[in-house]
Amino acid sequence: MMSLSTALRVGLIAAVSSTALLRPAAHATTETESGFTFATDPAVAAQQRSAFDVVHRYEQLLNAGDTTGILELFAPDGIAEWNDKPTFSTLQERRDAYDALFRIAKFTTVFGYAGIDVHGDTAVVRTYHHRGATVLEGGKEVADLNREVFVLRRTDGRWRISLYIFNTNPVQGEG
């Protein structure tokens, strides 16, 4: 039997390797204030917007340095994987990681959205930081070169973060 962590990784690999998942939908789209192009099909757009809302809330809480708020967005068995850090798979590990992060860094992040794909009770949201994005680390401004993937799972009618991963991208702003 596969562990939840392994199952999430296998599912993410399958989702990301599906070119249909990462390509824009074949139907028409409309752009919003976020810069993301949502589907014009109202049912598809509603699902995209509900997934967008969770990630946008994460962005707001990240900028506020709010560990408790961020943890509430995660599924109880959610996982966070950051560059050069161990996997954070328990609530306490995630709490310790965000608390440590907020002790040294102050964020003013504005996510760009490269994709929001919803398939049943799973959503994959890909974000990036715009060119010129910075973070204050130890009082010094440092370039913030991240791209992120949020895998959301709908449980009890609510989207929760099942897996959050990011990597550093030296060519900022490319979705």
Inside any domain, residue 40: yes
Residues 107 and 135: their CA atoms lie apart, in Å, by 5
3-state secondary structure of 173: coil
State the residue range of the domain holding 138: 4-168
Euclidean distance between CA atoms 16 and 115, whole angstroms: 11
Q: How many separate domains does the chain show?
A: 1
Q: What is the pLDDT of residue 172?
A: 54
The CB density around residue 20, as the number of other CB atoms within 10 Å, is 9
In tens digits, what is the pLDDT along the chain, a chain of 175 residues? 444 444 444 444 344 433 333 333 333 344 454 678 898 999 999 999 999 999 999 999 999 999 999 999 999 999 999 988 999 999 999 999 999 999 998 988 889 899 999 999 999 999 988 766 778 888 888 888 888 999 999 998 999 999 999 988 666 555 4
Question: Tokens at residue 142, please?
Answer: 């440092």
Distance CA 31, CA 166 (A): 25
- Residue 154 in domain: yes
* Residue 171 confidence (pLDDT): 64
The CATH number linked to 163 is 3.10.450.50
Q: Is 80 exposed, middle or buried (0-12, 13-18, 19+ CB in 10 A)?
A: buried
Is 175 among the domain residues?
no
User: What pLDDT is attached to residue 117?
Assistant: 95
* 173 located within any domain: no
